[in-house]
Structure 1
Protein backbone atom coordinates (compact mmCIF):
# COMPACT_ATOMS: atom_id res chain seq x y z
CA UNK A 1 0.00 0.00 0.00
CA UNK A 2 2.83 2.43 0.65
CA UNK A 3 3.68 2.31 -3.06
CA UNK A 4 0.47 4.09 -4.10
CA UNK A 5 1.50 7.59 -2.86
CA UNK A 6 4.82 7.37 -4.72
CA UNK A 7 3.19 6.34 -7.96
CA UNK A 8 0.49 8.98 -7.63
CA UNK A 9 3.01 11.72 -6.85
CA UNK A 10 5.28 10.74 -9.74
CA UNK A 11 2.30 10.73 -12.09
CA UNK A 12 1.29 14.19 -10.84
CA UNK A 13 4.82 15.56 -11.22
CA UNK A 14 5.34 13.94 -14.62
CA UNK A 15 1.88 14.96 -15.81
CA UNK A 16 2.38 18.56 -14.77
CA UNK A 17 5.71 18.70 -16.55
CA UNK A 18 4.25 17.13 -19.68
CA UNK A 19 1.24 19.45 -19.77
CA UNK A 20 3.51 22.46 -19.43
CA UNK A 21 5.03 21.70 -22.82
CA UNK A 22 3.89 24.14 -25.46
CA UNK A 23 5.37 24.50 -28.92
CA UNK A 24 8.88 25.87 -28.44
CA UNK A 25 8.09 28.85 -30.66
CA UNK A 26 5.34 29.92 -28.22
CA UNK A 27 7.59 30.26 -25.16
CA UNK A 28 10.54 32.41 -24.27
CA UNK A 29 13.96 30.76 -23.93
CA UNK A 30 13.76 31.16 -20.12
CA UNK A 31 10.42 29.35 -19.98
CA UNK A 32 11.53 26.67 -22.45
CA UNK A 33 14.67 25.99 -20.42
CA UNK A 34 12.62 25.87 -17.20
CA UNK A 35 10.14 23.43 -18.73
CA UNK A 36 12.99 21.22 -19.94
CA UNK A 37 14.45 21.26 -16.43
CA UNK A 38 11.11 20.26 -14.89
CA UNK A 39 10.74 17.44 -17.42
CA UNK A 40 14.24 16.19 -16.56
CA UNK A 41 13.36 16.22 -12.86
CA UNK A 42 10.09 14.38 -13.51
CA UNK A 43 11.97 11.76 -15.54
CA UNK A 44 14.53 11.38 -12.75
CA UNK A 45 11.74 10.96 -10.19
CA UNK A 46 10.16 8.30 -12.39
CA UNK A 47 13.48 6.43 -12.51
CA UNK A 48 13.90 6.55 -8.72
CA UNK A 49 10.28 5.49 -8.20
CA UNK A 50 10.72 2.56 -10.59
CA UNK A 51 13.80 1.41 -8.71
CA UNK A 52 12.15 1.66 -5.29
CA UNK A 53 8.99 -0.04 -6.54
CA UNK A 54 10.96 -2.87 -8.15
CA UNK A 55 9.63 -2.06 -11.63
CA UNK A 56 13.18 -1.32 -12.74
CA UNK A 57 16.27 -3.30 -11.88
CA UNK A 58 18.55 -1.50 -9.46
CA UNK A 59 21.23 0.38 -11.30
CA UNK A 60 23.52 2.35 -9.00
CA UNK A 61 24.61 4.69 -11.80
CA UNK A 62 21.02 5.43 -12.92
CA UNK A 63 19.92 5.94 -9.30
CA UNK A 64 22.82 8.33 -8.65
CA UNK A 65 22.29 10.22 -11.93
CA UNK A 66 18.58 10.64 -11.20
CA UNK A 67 19.26 11.98 -7.69
CA UNK A 68 21.95 14.30 -9.08
CA UNK A 69 19.60 15.57 -11.80
CA UNK A 70 17.13 16.66 -9.14
CA UNK A 71 19.88 18.08 -6.92
CA UNK A 72 21.46 20.14 -9.72
CA UNK A 73 18.12 21.53 -10.89
CA UNK A 74 16.76 22.44 -7.45
CA UNK A 75 18.03 24.97 -4.93
CA UNK A 76 19.35 28.23 -6.35
CA UNK A 77 19.26 26.84 -9.90
CA UNK A 78 15.49 26.44 -9.56
CA UNK A 79 15.05 29.89 -8.03
CA UNK A 80 17.11 31.42 -10.85
CA UNK A 81 14.91 29.64 -13.42
CA UNK A 82 11.95 31.78 -12.31
CA UNK A 83 13.08 35.37 -12.87
CA UNK A 84 10.63 38.26 -12.58
CA UNK A 85 8.59 38.65 -15.73
CA UNK A 86 8.60 34.94 -16.63
CA UNK A 87 5.23 34.16 -15.08
CA UNK A 88 1.82 33.69 -16.62
CA UNK A 89 0.89 32.44 -20.07
CA UNK A 90 2.32 30.63 -21.86
CA UNK A 91 4.04 29.46 -18.66
CA UNK A 92 1.97 27.96 -15.88
CA UNK A 93 4.14 29.64 -13.22
CA UNK A 94 2.04 31.92 -11.05
CA UNK A 95 3.09 35.50 -10.34
CA UNK A 96 2.66 34.53 -6.68
CA UNK A 97 6.23 33.20 -6.89
CA UNK A 98 7.41 36.79 -6.88
CA UNK A 99 5.19 37.78 -3.94
CA UNK A 100 6.28 34.69 -1.98
CA UNK A 101 9.89 34.54 -3.18
CA UNK A 102 11.25 33.51 0.25
CA UNK A 103 8.83 30.60 0.55
CA UNK A 104 9.51 29.52 -3.03
CA UNK A 105 13.27 29.68 -2.41
CA UNK A 106 12.91 27.75 0.85
CA UNK A 107 11.06 24.95 -0.98
CA UNK A 108 13.71 24.85 -3.71
CA UNK A 109 16.53 24.72 -1.15
CA UNK A 110 14.73 22.06 0.89
CA UNK A 111 14.32 19.95 -2.23
CA UNK A 112 18.03 20.37 -2.92
CA UNK A 113 18.97 19.24 0.61
CA UNK A 114 16.82 16.12 0.26
CA UNK A 115 18.20 15.34 -3.20
CA UNK A 116 21.76 15.79 -1.89
CA UNK A 117 21.10 13.28 0.88
CA UNK A 118 19.49 10.88 -1.63
CA UNK A 119 22.52 11.21 -3.90
CA UNK A 120 24.80 10.45 -0.94
CA UNK A 121 22.70 7.38 -0.13
CA UNK A 122 23.24 6.17 -3.69
CA UNK A 123 26.99 6.26 -3.07
CA UNK A 124 26.51 3.92 -0.12
CA UNK A 125 24.49 1.35 -2.08
CA UNK A 126 26.53 0.17 -5.06
CA UNK A 127 24.87 -3.25 -5.18
CA UNK A 128 21.19 -2.51 -4.55
CA UNK A 129 18.58 -0.98 -2.34
CA UNK A 130 19.52 -1.90 1.20
CA UNK A 131 17.13 -2.40 4.08
CA UNK A 132 18.54 0.77 5.66
CA UNK A 133 17.38 2.72 2.58
CA UNK A 134 13.76 1.59 2.99
CA UNK A 135 11.09 3.50 4.89
CA UNK A 136 10.13 1.92 8.15
CA UNK A 137 6.50 1.22 9.10
CA UNK A 138 4.95 4.19 10.82
CA UNK A 139 7.33 6.80 9.40
CA UNK A 140 5.37 10.02 9.10
CA UNK A 141 5.25 11.42 5.62
CA UNK A 142 4.38 14.99 6.58
CA UNK A 143 2.15 17.01 4.32
CA UNK A 144 2.87 20.69 4.56
CA UNK A 145 5.58 22.92 3.20
CA UNK A 146 9.21 22.23 4.07
CA UNK A 147 8.54 18.87 5.65
CA UNK A 148 6.75 20.37 8.65
CA UNK A 149 3.75 18.55 9.91
CA UNK A 150 0.87 20.36 11.52
CA UNK A 151 1.86 21.02 15.10
CA UNK A 152 5.23 19.34 14.57
CA UNK A 153 8.81 20.29 14.00
CA UNK A 154 10.70 20.18 10.75
CA UNK A 155 12.01 16.78 9.66
CA UNK A 156 15.25 15.50 11.15
CA UNK A 157 18.65 15.70 9.45
CA UNK A 158 18.12 14.38 5.89
CA UNK A 159 21.47 12.57 5.95
CA UNK A 160 20.10 10.31 8.68
CA UNK A 161 16.84 9.42 6.91
CA UNK A 162 16.25 6.32 4.81
CA UNK A 163 16.59 7.08 1.09
CA UNK A 164 13.03 6.01 0.35
CA UNK A 165 11.74 8.47 2.95
CA UNK A 166 13.86 11.22 1.39
CA UNK A 167 12.32 10.43 -1.96
CA UNK A 168 8.77 10.66 -0.59
CA UNK A 169 9.58 14.01 1.02
CA UNK A 170 11.05 15.24 -2.27
CA UNK A 171 7.83 14.34 -4.08
CA UNK A 172 5.87 16.18 -1.40
CA UNK A 173 7.99 19.29 -1.93
CA UNK A 174 7.26 19.09 -5.67
CA UNK A 175 3.54 18.59 -5.08
CA UNK A 176 3.36 21.41 -2.52
CA UNK A 177 5.25 23.81 -4.77
CA UNK A 178 3.08 23.02 -7.78
CA UNK A 179 -0.08 23.36 -5.70
CA UNK A 180 0.85 26.86 -4.59
CA UNK A 181 2.92 28.26 -7.44
CA UNK A 182 1.65 26.58 -10.61
CA UNK A 183 -1.56 27.23 -12.52
CA UNK A 184 -3.75 24.18 -12.98
CA UNK A 185 -4.27 23.42 -16.63
CA UNK A 186 -6.71 21.08 -18.26
Structure 2
Protein backbone atom coordinates (compact mmCIF):
# COMPACT_ATOMS: atom_id res chain seq x y z
CA UNK A 1 0.00 0.00 0.00
CA UNK A 2 1.25 3.49 -0.87
CA UNK A 3 2.48 5.50 2.12
CA UNK A 4 0.64 8.77 2.64
CA UNK A 5 3.20 11.51 3.30
CA UNK A 6 2.15 14.85 4.76
CA UNK A 7 4.53 17.79 4.57
CA UNK A 8 4.53 20.02 7.66
CA UNK A 9 6.29 23.18 6.51
CA UNK A 10 6.84 26.03 8.94
CA UNK A 11 8.89 29.10 9.74
CA UNK A 12 9.53 29.85 13.42
CA UNK A 13 11.66 32.58 14.94
CA UNK A 14 11.11 32.03 18.67
CA UNK A 15 9.79 28.45 18.76
CA UNK A 16 6.02 28.78 19.22
CA UNK A 17 5.08 28.08 15.60
CA UNK A 18 7.45 25.11 15.72
CA UNK A 19 5.54 23.80 18.75
CA UNK A 20 2.31 23.91 16.73
CA UNK A 21 4.02 22.12 13.84
CA UNK A 22 5.19 19.34 16.17
CA UNK A 23 1.67 18.92 17.57
CA UNK A 24 0.28 18.69 14.04
CA UNK A 25 2.89 15.98 13.36
CA UNK A 26 1.51 14.03 16.36
CA UNK A 27 -1.98 14.19 14.88
CA UNK A 28 -0.76 13.08 11.45
CA UNK A 29 1.22 10.14 12.81
CA UNK A 30 -1.69 9.04 15.03
CA UNK A 31 -3.61 8.41 11.79
CA UNK A 32 -0.86 6.16 10.41
CA UNK A 33 0.43 8.71 7.89
CA UNK A 34 4.04 9.81 7.53
CA UNK A 35 4.89 13.38 8.56
CA UNK A 36 7.78 15.20 6.88
CA UNK A 37 8.83 18.19 9.05
CA UNK A 38 10.56 20.97 7.13
CA UNK A 39 11.35 24.68 7.48
CA UNK A 40 12.43 27.53 5.20
CA UNK A 41 15.62 29.62 5.33
CA UNK A 42 15.65 33.16 6.67
CA UNK A 43 15.74 36.03 4.23
CA UNK A 44 18.02 39.01 4.67
CA UNK A 45 17.69 42.68 3.81
CA UNK A 46 21.35 42.47 2.78
CA UNK A 47 21.06 41.00 -0.69
CA UNK A 48 24.66 39.73 -0.86
CA UNK A 49 24.32 37.60 2.26
CA UNK A 50 23.49 33.93 1.92
CA UNK A 51 22.23 31.39 4.44
CA UNK A 52 24.02 28.16 5.30
CA UNK A 53 22.87 25.25 3.09
CA UNK A 54 21.81 23.28 6.18
CA UNK A 55 20.18 24.82 9.28
CA UNK A 56 22.25 24.68 12.46
CA UNK A 57 19.39 22.99 14.33
CA UNK A 58 15.81 21.86 13.87
CA UNK A 59 14.10 20.64 10.72
CA UNK A 60 15.94 20.57 7.36
CA UNK A 61 15.15 23.14 4.69
CA UNK A 62 12.35 22.29 2.30
CA UNK A 63 12.97 21.53 -1.38
CA UNK A 64 10.51 22.10 -4.21
CA UNK A 65 10.74 18.38 -5.01
CA UNK A 66 9.53 17.49 -1.50
CA UNK A 67 6.65 19.93 -1.86
CA UNK A 68 5.70 18.48 -5.24
CA UNK A 69 5.68 14.89 -3.95
CA UNK A 70 3.68 15.43 -0.74
CA UNK A 71 0.16 14.03 -0.40
CA UNK A 72 -0.91 16.90 1.85
CA UNK A 73 0.50 20.10 3.31
CA UNK A 74 0.36 21.85 6.68
CA UNK A 75 1.78 25.36 6.27
CA UNK A 76 2.70 27.54 9.24
CA UNK A 77 4.19 30.95 9.93
CA UNK A 78 4.15 33.45 12.78
CA UNK A 79 2.11 36.61 12.31
CA UNK A 80 4.16 39.52 10.93
CA UNK A 81 1.93 42.61 10.79
CA UNK A 82 -1.11 40.47 10.00
CA UNK A 83 0.66 38.55 7.25
CA UNK A 84 2.90 35.50 6.86
CA UNK A 85 6.63 35.97 7.49
CA UNK A 86 8.77 37.13 4.57
CA UNK A 87 10.78 33.89 4.65
CA UNK A 88 7.67 31.80 3.97
CA UNK A 89 6.40 34.22 1.33
CA UNK A 90 9.82 34.11 -0.37
CA UNK A 91 9.68 30.32 -0.58
CA UNK A 92 6.12 30.26 -1.89
CA UNK A 93 7.06 32.85 -4.50
CA UNK A 94 9.65 30.37 -5.76
CA UNK A 95 7.06 27.65 -6.36
CA UNK A 96 5.73 28.89 -9.72
CA UNK A 97 7.30 25.92 -11.51
CA UNK A 98 4.99 23.62 -9.52
CA UNK A 99 2.03 25.85 -10.34
CA UNK A 100 2.83 25.57 -14.04
CA UNK A 101 2.85 21.77 -13.77
CA UNK A 102 -0.24 21.59 -11.55
CA UNK A 103 1.78 19.55 -9.04
CA UNK A 104 -0.36 20.45 -6.03
CA UNK A 105 -3.83 20.41 -7.58
CA UNK A 106 -6.46 18.55 -5.49
CA UNK A 107 -4.10 17.90 -2.57
CA UNK A 108 -5.40 18.85 0.92
CA UNK A 109 -3.75 21.62 2.91
CA UNK A 110 -4.14 23.44 6.20
CA UNK A 111 -2.51 26.50 7.77
CA UNK A 112 -1.37 27.50 11.26
CA UNK A 113 0.13 30.54 12.97
CA UNK A 114 1.19 32.23 16.20
CA UNK A 115 1.25 35.82 17.43
CA UNK A 116 2.51 37.77 20.44
CA UNK A 117 -0.91 39.15 21.38
CA UNK A 118 -4.55 38.08 21.44
CA UNK A 119 -5.55 40.32 18.53
CA UNK A 120 -2.27 40.13 16.65
CA UNK A 121 -3.67 39.42 13.18
CA UNK A 122 -3.87 35.63 13.37
CA UNK A 123 -6.87 35.21 11.08
CA UNK A 124 -5.51 37.53 8.38
CA UNK A 125 -2.19 35.66 8.53
CA UNK A 126 -3.96 32.33 8.10
CA UNK A 127 -5.88 33.72 5.12
CA UNK A 128 -2.66 35.14 3.62
CA UNK A 129 -1.21 31.62 3.61
CA UNK A 130 -4.40 30.16 2.13
CA UNK A 131 -4.27 32.41 -0.94
CA UNK A 132 -1.20 30.89 -2.68
CA UNK A 133 -2.50 27.41 -1.84
CA UNK A 134 -5.78 28.24 -3.58
CA UNK A 135 -3.81 29.41 -6.61
CA UNK A 136 -2.02 26.03 -6.57
CA UNK A 137 -5.41 24.30 -6.66
CA UNK A 138 -5.12 22.78 -3.19
CA UNK A 139 -8.13 21.79 -1.04
CA UNK A 140 -8.23 23.76 2.22
CA UNK A 141 -8.92 21.93 5.47
CA UNK A 142 -10.05 23.96 8.50
CA UNK A 143 -10.84 23.02 12.09
CA UNK A 144 -14.56 22.22 12.53
CA UNK A 145 -16.49 23.18 15.64
CA UNK A 146 -16.96 19.48 16.38
CA UNK A 147 -13.49 19.84 17.96
CA UNK A 148 -14.48 20.75 21.53
CA UNK A 149 -11.34 22.80 22.18
CA UNK A 150 -12.37 25.31 19.50
CA UNK A 151 -15.34 26.23 21.71
CA UNK A 152 -13.34 26.33 24.95
CA UNK A 153 -10.11 28.06 24.01
CA UNK A 154 -9.34 31.41 25.62
CA UNK A 155 -5.99 31.68 23.86
CA UNK A 156 -5.22 30.48 20.31
CA UNK A 157 -7.09 28.17 17.97
CA UNK A 158 -9.50 29.15 15.19
CA UNK A 159 -11.74 27.43 12.64
CA UNK A 160 -9.35 28.76 9.97
CA UNK A 161 -6.44 26.84 11.47
CA UNK A 162 -4.48 26.06 14.62
CA UNK A 163 -2.83 29.01 16.33
CA UNK A 164 -1.14 30.07 19.56
CA UNK A 165 -0.49 33.24 21.53
CA UNK A 166 2.86 34.01 23.15
CA UNK A 167 1.66 35.99 26.13
CA UNK A 168 4.08 34.66 28.76
CA UNK A 169 5.87 31.56 27.45
CA UNK A 170 6.93 31.68 23.81
CA UNK A 171 7.55 27.93 23.49
CA UNK A 172 4.65 26.32 25.35
CA UNK A 173 1.16 25.73 23.96
CA UNK A 174 -1.96 25.88 26.11
CA UNK A 175 -3.94 22.66 26.50
CA UNK A 176 -6.56 23.82 23.99
CA UNK A 177 -3.97 25.09 21.50
CA UNK A 178 -2.27 21.71 21.51
CA UNK A 179 -5.56 19.80 21.21
CA UNK A 180 -6.61 21.91 18.21
CA UNK A 181 -3.24 21.45 16.48
CA UNK A 182 -3.32 17.67 16.98
CA UNK A 183 -6.93 17.54 15.74
CA UNK A 184 -5.98 19.54 12.66
CA UNK A 185 -3.16 17.12 11.89
CA UNK A 186 -5.50 14.15 12.31
CA UNK A 187 -8.12 15.65 9.99
CA UNK A 188 -5.54 16.55 7.35
CA UNK A 189 -4.12 13.01 7.43
CA UNK A 190 -7.55 11.38 7.20
CA UNK A 191 -8.48 13.42 4.15
CA UNK A 192 -5.08 12.93 2.50
CA UNK A 193 -5.31 9.16 2.98
CA UNK A 194 -8.79 9.07 1.48
CA UNK A 195 -7.64 11.07 -1.54
CA UNK A 196 -4.46 9.06 -2.13
CA UNK A 197 -6.41 5.80 -1.92
CA UNK A 198 -8.95 7.13 -4.41
CA UNK A 199 -6.26 8.49 -6.77
CA UNK A 200 -3.04 6.54 -6.12
CA UNK A 201 -0.86 8.77 -8.33
CA UNK A 202 -1.92 12.04 -6.68
CA UNK A 203 1.46 12.52 -5.00
CA UNK A 204 3.51 11.88 -8.14
Could you tell me the TM-score, scaled by structure 1's length? 0.32
Higher strand proportion: 2
Tell which has more relative contact order, 1 or 2 (C-alpha 8 A, sep 6+). Answer: 2
Higher helix proportion: 1
